[in-house]
Protein backbone atom coordinates (compact mmCIF):
# COMPACT_ATOMS: atom_id res chain seq x y z
CA UNK A 1 0.00 0.00 0.00
CA UNK A 2 1.34 3.39 -0.99
CA UNK A 3 2.42 5.57 1.91
CA UNK A 4 0.77 8.99 1.68
CA UNK A 5 2.16 10.57 4.85
CA UNK A 6 2.32 14.25 4.03
CA UNK A 7 5.65 15.04 5.73
CA UNK A 8 7.82 12.40 4.10
CA UNK A 9 9.49 11.99 0.71
CA UNK A 10 10.88 8.47 1.22
CA UNK A 11 7.99 6.31 2.43
CA UNK A 12 8.58 7.07 6.11
CA UNK A 13 5.63 7.32 8.46
CA UNK A 14 7.03 10.23 10.45
CA UNK A 15 8.00 13.84 9.74
CA UNK A 16 11.49 13.46 8.31
CA UNK A 17 14.25 16.01 8.47
CA UNK A 18 14.93 15.33 4.78
CA UNK A 19 11.40 16.45 3.95
CA UNK A 20 11.66 19.54 6.14
CA UNK A 21 14.92 20.74 4.60
CA UNK A 22 13.85 19.90 1.05
CA UNK A 23 10.68 21.93 1.46
CA UNK A 24 12.49 24.86 3.09
CA UNK A 25 15.71 24.99 1.04
CA UNK A 26 14.95 22.77 -1.97
CA UNK A 27 18.25 20.95 -1.41
CA UNK A 28 20.05 18.33 0.60
CA UNK A 29 21.17 20.01 3.83
CA UNK A 30 24.08 18.81 5.96
CA UNK A 31 25.10 19.94 9.44
CA UNK A 32 28.82 20.46 9.99
CA UNK A 33 29.63 19.73 13.64
CA UNK A 34 31.87 22.29 15.32
CA UNK A 35 33.67 22.44 18.65
CA UNK A 36 34.00 26.02 19.91
CA UNK A 37 35.69 24.82 23.11
CA UNK A 38 32.89 25.99 25.38
CA UNK A 39 32.42 24.49 28.82
CA UNK A 40 29.20 23.80 30.74
CA UNK A 41 27.66 25.23 33.93
CA UNK A 42 27.27 21.66 35.11
CA UNK A 43 31.03 21.12 34.82
CA UNK A 44 32.59 24.35 36.07
CA UNK A 45 30.56 24.57 39.27
CA UNK A 46 27.98 27.21 38.41
CA UNK A 47 25.15 24.70 38.83
CA UNK A 48 27.09 21.49 39.39
CA UNK A 49 30.31 19.55 39.01
CA UNK A 50 31.28 16.60 36.82
CA UNK A 51 28.61 17.09 34.17
CA UNK A 52 25.74 14.72 33.40
CA UNK A 53 26.87 11.20 34.23
CA UNK A 54 26.57 9.97 30.63
CA UNK A 55 28.47 12.85 29.05
CA UNK A 56 31.88 12.13 27.53
CA UNK A 57 34.99 14.22 28.03
CA UNK A 58 34.24 15.79 24.64
CA UNK A 59 30.87 17.08 25.83
CA UNK A 60 28.90 15.01 23.31
CA UNK A 61 31.07 16.40 20.54
CA UNK A 62 32.75 13.16 19.41
CA UNK A 63 32.10 13.94 15.78
CA UNK A 64 32.74 17.65 16.05
CA UNK A 65 35.76 19.48 14.82
CA UNK A 66 39.13 19.82 16.45
CA UNK A 67 38.95 22.69 18.97
CA UNK A 68 42.63 23.41 18.30
CA UNK A 69 41.61 24.56 14.82
CA UNK A 70 39.61 27.69 14.08
CA UNK A 71 35.87 27.29 13.64
CA UNK A 72 36.16 28.23 9.97
CA UNK A 73 38.83 25.57 9.46
CA UNK A 74 36.62 22.99 11.16
CA UNK A 75 33.70 24.01 8.95
CA UNK A 76 35.71 23.81 5.73
CA UNK A 77 37.06 20.36 6.56
CA UNK A 78 33.62 19.03 7.44
CA UNK A 79 32.06 20.59 4.37
CA UNK A 80 34.63 19.11 1.99
CA UNK A 81 34.15 15.66 3.48
CA UNK A 82 30.37 15.83 3.01
CA UNK A 83 30.65 17.24 -0.50
CA UNK A 84 32.26 13.99 -1.62
CA UNK A 85 28.93 12.28 -1.05
CA UNK A 86 26.58 15.23 -1.62
CA UNK A 87 28.28 17.65 -4.04
CA UNK A 88 25.22 19.91 -4.28
CA UNK A 89 24.41 20.03 -0.57
CA UNK A 90 23.90 23.16 1.50
CA UNK A 91 25.43 23.49 4.96
CA UNK A 92 24.48 24.47 8.50
CA UNK A 93 27.10 25.28 11.14
CA UNK A 94 26.31 23.02 14.08
CA UNK A 95 27.73 24.18 17.41
CA UNK A 96 27.56 20.80 19.10
CA UNK A 97 30.06 20.20 21.91
CA UNK A 98 29.13 21.23 25.46
CA UNK A 99 26.94 24.33 26.09
CA UNK A 100 27.16 26.77 23.20
CA UNK A 101 25.57 29.85 24.74
CA UNK A 102 27.49 29.61 28.00
CA UNK A 103 29.86 32.52 27.47
CA UNK A 104 29.87 36.33 27.43
CA UNK A 105 27.98 37.91 24.55
CA UNK A 106 31.14 39.12 22.82
CA UNK A 107 32.53 35.58 22.76
CA UNK A 108 29.28 34.29 21.27
CA UNK A 109 29.42 36.94 18.57
CA UNK A 110 33.00 35.98 17.74
CA UNK A 111 31.83 32.40 17.19
CA UNK A 112 28.52 32.94 15.41
CA UNK A 113 28.92 36.07 13.30
CA UNK A 114 31.42 34.61 10.77
CA UNK A 115 28.88 31.93 9.84
CA UNK A 116 25.97 34.35 9.57
CA UNK A 117 28.00 36.21 6.95
CA UNK A 118 29.39 33.09 5.23
CA UNK A 119 27.86 32.57 1.78
CA UNK A 120 28.16 28.77 1.83
CA UNK A 121 26.47 28.49 5.24
CA UNK A 122 22.67 28.70 5.23
CA UNK A 123 22.16 28.73 8.98
CA UNK A 124 23.21 27.90 12.52
CA UNK A 125 22.21 25.15 14.91
CA UNK A 126 23.21 25.89 18.50
CA UNK A 127 23.12 23.16 21.16
CA UNK A 128 22.73 24.45 24.69
CA UNK A 129 20.98 24.19 28.07
CA UNK A 130 17.89 26.09 29.12
CA UNK A 131 19.75 27.53 32.13
CA UNK A 132 22.47 29.00 29.93
CA UNK A 133 20.54 31.55 27.88
CA UNK A 134 20.59 34.96 29.52
CA UNK A 135 18.13 37.70 28.55
CA UNK A 136 20.98 39.39 26.66
CA UNK A 137 21.74 36.15 24.84
CA UNK A 138 18.04 35.64 24.09
CA UNK A 139 17.88 39.05 22.40
CA UNK A 140 20.98 38.15 20.37
CA UNK A 141 19.44 34.85 19.27
CA UNK A 142 16.36 36.78 18.17
CA UNK A 143 18.61 39.04 16.11
CA UNK A 144 20.41 36.04 14.54
CA UNK A 145 17.05 34.52 13.67
CA UNK A 146 16.16 37.60 11.68
CA UNK A 147 19.38 37.36 9.65
CA UNK A 148 19.72 33.64 8.97
CA UNK A 149 18.08 30.28 9.60
CA UNK A 150 18.48 29.37 13.28
CA UNK A 151 17.79 26.31 15.40
CA UNK A 152 18.32 26.27 19.16
CA UNK A 153 18.75 22.73 20.46
CA UNK A 154 17.84 22.28 24.12
CA UNK A 155 18.83 19.24 26.15
CA UNK A 156 16.00 18.00 28.34
CA UNK A 157 16.58 14.20 28.43
CA UNK A 158 13.64 13.52 30.81
CA UNK A 159 10.80 15.30 32.57
CA UNK A 160 11.20 13.14 35.67
CA UNK A 161 12.90 14.88 38.59
CA UNK A 162 14.12 11.68 40.26
CA UNK A 163 15.92 10.60 37.09
CA UNK A 164 17.26 14.10 36.53
CA UNK A 165 18.87 14.08 39.96
CA UNK A 166 20.31 10.61 39.42
CA UNK A 167 22.01 11.63 36.16
CA UNK A 168 23.27 14.88 37.73
CA UNK A 169 21.40 17.02 35.22
CA UNK A 170 21.34 20.02 37.61
CA UNK A 171 18.46 21.74 35.86
CA UNK A 172 14.72 22.01 36.43
CA UNK A 173 11.74 21.16 34.27
CA UNK A 174 10.24 24.57 35.04
CA UNK A 175 13.40 26.31 33.84
CA UNK A 176 13.36 24.28 30.64
CA UNK A 177 9.66 24.94 30.02
CA UNK A 178 10.01 28.68 30.63
CA UNK A 179 12.93 28.88 28.19
CA UNK A 180 11.04 27.02 25.46
CA UNK A 181 8.22 29.52 25.84
CA UNK A 182 10.63 32.47 25.69
CA UNK A 183 12.31 31.14 22.54
CA UNK A 184 9.00 30.42 20.84
CA UNK A 185 7.72 33.90 21.75
CA UNK A 186 10.64 35.22 19.70
CA UNK A 187 9.74 32.85 16.85
CA UNK A 188 12.93 30.79 17.24
CA UNK A 189 13.01 27.21 16.03
CA UNK A 190 13.40 24.87 19.05
CA UNK A 191 14.59 21.26 18.88
CA UNK A 192 14.62 19.18 22.08
CA UNK A 193 16.89 16.25 22.98
CA UNK A 194 15.53 13.35 25.03
CA UNK A 195 17.10 10.05 26.11
CA UNK A 196 15.35 6.69 26.34
CA UNK A 197 16.65 3.99 28.64
CA UNK A 198 17.79 6.23 31.48
CA UNK A 199 18.36 4.24 34.69
CA UNK A 200 15.13 2.82 36.19
CA UNK A 201 12.76 4.68 33.87
CA UNK A 202 9.77 2.68 32.68
CA UNK A 203 8.25 2.73 29.23
CA UNK A 204 5.40 4.82 30.60
CA UNK A 205 7.84 7.41 31.97
CA UNK A 206 9.58 7.73 28.60
CA UNK A 207 6.27 8.16 26.82
CA UNK A 208 5.20 10.76 29.40
CA UNK A 209 8.27 12.83 28.48
CA UNK A 210 7.10 12.94 24.87
CA UNK A 211 3.51 13.70 25.85
CA UNK A 212 4.75 16.68 27.87
CA UNK A 213 6.83 18.02 24.97
CA UNK A 214 3.92 17.62 22.60
CA UNK A 215 2.11 20.38 24.47
CA UNK A 216 4.99 22.88 24.30
CA UNK A 217 4.85 23.89 20.63
CA UNK A 218 8.39 22.65 19.94
CA UNK A 219 9.53 22.42 16.31
CA UNK A 220 11.64 19.29 16.41
CA UNK A 221 12.93 16.45 18.54
CA UNK A 222 15.98 14.23 18.82
CA UNK A 223 15.39 10.85 20.45
CA UNK A 224 18.47 9.00 21.70
CA UNK A 225 19.16 5.73 23.47
CA UNK A 226 21.28 6.01 26.60
CA UNK A 227 24.91 5.18 25.86
CA UNK A 228 27.21 3.84 28.55
CA UNK A 229 30.54 5.25 27.41
CA UNK A 230 34.04 4.54 28.61
CA UNK A 231 35.61 6.95 31.09
CA UNK A 232 32.32 8.48 32.27
CA UNK A 233 30.63 8.49 35.69
CA UNK A 234 27.90 6.36 34.08
CA UNK A 235 30.44 3.63 33.32
CA UNK A 236 31.24 3.35 37.03
CA UNK A 237 27.57 3.58 38.04
CA UNK A 238 26.60 0.82 35.60
CA UNK A 239 29.46 -1.43 36.71
CA UNK A 240 28.23 -1.14 40.30
CA UNK A 241 24.45 -1.20 39.81
CA UNK A 242 23.88 -3.07 36.53
CA UNK A 243 20.58 -1.29 35.84
CA UNK A 244 18.55 -2.63 32.93
CA UNK A 245 19.70 -1.67 29.43
CA UNK A 246 16.93 -1.65 26.85
CA UNK A 247 17.15 -4.27 24.13
CA UNK A 248 16.95 -3.13 20.53
CA UNK A 249 13.40 -4.50 20.31
CA UNK A 250 12.33 -2.66 23.44
CA UNK A 251 13.86 0.59 22.21
CA UNK A 252 12.15 0.29 18.81
CA UNK A 253 8.78 -0.39 20.45
CA UNK A 254 9.10 2.62 22.75
CA UNK A 255 10.18 4.99 19.95
CA UNK A 256 7.21 3.94 17.79
CA UNK A 257 4.83 4.58 20.70
CA UNK A 258 6.46 7.96 21.30
CA UNK A 259 6.01 8.91 17.66
CA UNK A 260 2.30 8.18 17.95
CA UNK A 261 2.03 10.87 20.65
CA UNK A 262 3.94 13.56 18.73
CA UNK A 263 2.09 16.06 16.58
CA UNK A 264 2.84 15.33 12.94
CA UNK A 265 4.14 18.89 12.47
CA UNK A 266 7.08 18.17 14.83
CA UNK A 267 10.18 17.35 12.78
CA UNK A 268 12.04 14.18 13.76
CA UNK A 269 15.72 15.14 13.71
CA UNK A 270 16.98 11.85 15.18
CA UNK A 271 15.65 8.46 16.21
CA UNK A 272 18.99 6.98 17.19
CA UNK A 273 22.57 8.11 17.69
CA UNK A 274 25.95 7.51 16.02
CA UNK A 275 28.07 6.06 18.82
CA UNK A 276 31.82 5.67 18.61
CA UNK A 277 32.18 1.88 18.47
CA UNK A 278 35.55 2.12 20.23
CA UNK A 279 34.07 4.05 23.14
CA UNK A 280 30.72 2.40 23.81
CA UNK A 281 30.21 -0.22 26.49
CA UNK A 282 26.44 -0.70 26.24
CA UNK A 283 24.27 -1.19 24.28
CA UNK A 284 26.41 -2.55 21.45
CA UNK A 285 23.39 -2.88 19.17
CA UNK A 286 23.46 0.92 18.81
CA UNK A 287 26.40 0.61 16.44
CA UNK A 288 24.10 -0.63 13.67
CA UNK A 289 22.19 2.61 13.20
CA UNK A 290 20.40 1.76 9.97
CA UNK A 291 19.19 -1.57 11.33
CA UNK A 292 17.43 0.33 14.13
CA UNK A 293 15.86 2.80 11.71
CA UNK A 294 14.70 -0.06 9.48
CA UNK A 295 13.14 -1.85 12.45
CA UNK A 296 11.24 1.32 13.36
CA UNK A 297 9.94 1.59 9.80
CA UNK A 298 8.91 -2.07 9.72
CA UNK A 299 7.03 -1.90 13.01
CA UNK A 300 5.17 1.25 11.99
CA UNK A 301 4.23 -0.32 8.67
CA UNK A 302 3.22 -3.66 10.21
CA UNK A 303 0.87 -1.97 12.68
CA UNK A 304 -0.18 0.81 10.26
CA UNK A 305 1.11 3.52 12.60
CA UNK A 306 1.84 7.14 11.67
CA UNK A 307 3.34 9.96 13.69
CA UNK A 308 0.60 11.78 15.54
CA UNK A 309 -2.00 9.01 15.40
CA UNK A 310 -2.76 9.42 19.11
CA UNK A 311 -3.03 13.21 18.91
CA UNK A 312 -5.91 13.19 16.44
CA UNK A 313 -8.98 14.85 17.81
CA UNK A 314 -7.09 16.52 20.66
Question: In the structure, what pLDDT confidence band is assigned to residue 61 with cuts at 50, 70 and 90?
Answer: very low
Residue 4 domain-assigned (yes or no):
no
Residue 7 domain-assigned (yes or no):
no
Instruction: Give me the CATH number covering residue 107.
Output: 3.20.20.70
Residue 222 domain-assigned (yes or no):
yes
* For the ranges 2-16, 59-73, 225-239, the one whose mean pLDDT is highest: 225-239
The phi and psi torsions of 59 (rounded to 5 degrees) equal 60, 45
Residue 97 domain-assigned (yes or no):
yes
pLDDT of residue 57: 66
Q: What is the pTM of this model?
A: 0.94
Residue 11 domain-assigned (yes or no):
no
Q: What is the pLDDT of residues 63-121, one digit of tens each?
A: 667 888 999 999 999 999 999 999 999 999 999 988 999 999 999 999 999 999 899 99
Residue 94 domain-assigned (yes or no):
yes
pLDDT of residue 41: 83
pLDDT of residue 78: 94
Question: In the structure, what pLDDT confidence band is assigned to residue 312 with cuts at 50, 70 and 90?
Answer: confident
The number of domains in the chain is: 1
The phi and psi torsions of 235 (rounded to 5 degrees) equal -60, -45
Instruction: Provide the residue range defining the domain that includes 238.
Output: 17-303
Closest to 271 in 3D by CA, of 284, 282, 286: 286
Element (H, E) at 91: strand 90-95
Residue 126 domain-assigned (yes or no):
yes
What is the rounded average pLDDT for all residues in the chain? Answer: 93
pLDDT of residue 43: 84
Q: What is the pLDDT of residues 137-186, one digit of tens each?
A: 999 999 999 999 999 999 999 999 999 999 988 799 999 999 999 999 99
Residue 236 domain-assigned (yes or no):
yes
CA distance 247 to 148: 41
Amino acid sequence: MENKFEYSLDNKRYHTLTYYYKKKFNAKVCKVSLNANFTCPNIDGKVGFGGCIYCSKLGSGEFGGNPKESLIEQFEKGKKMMQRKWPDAKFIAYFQANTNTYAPLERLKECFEPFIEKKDCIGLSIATRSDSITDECLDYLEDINKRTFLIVELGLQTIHEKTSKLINRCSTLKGFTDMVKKLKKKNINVVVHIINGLPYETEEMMIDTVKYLNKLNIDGIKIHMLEVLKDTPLEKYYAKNKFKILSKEEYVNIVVKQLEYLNKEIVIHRLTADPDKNNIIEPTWLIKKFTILNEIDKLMSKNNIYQGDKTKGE
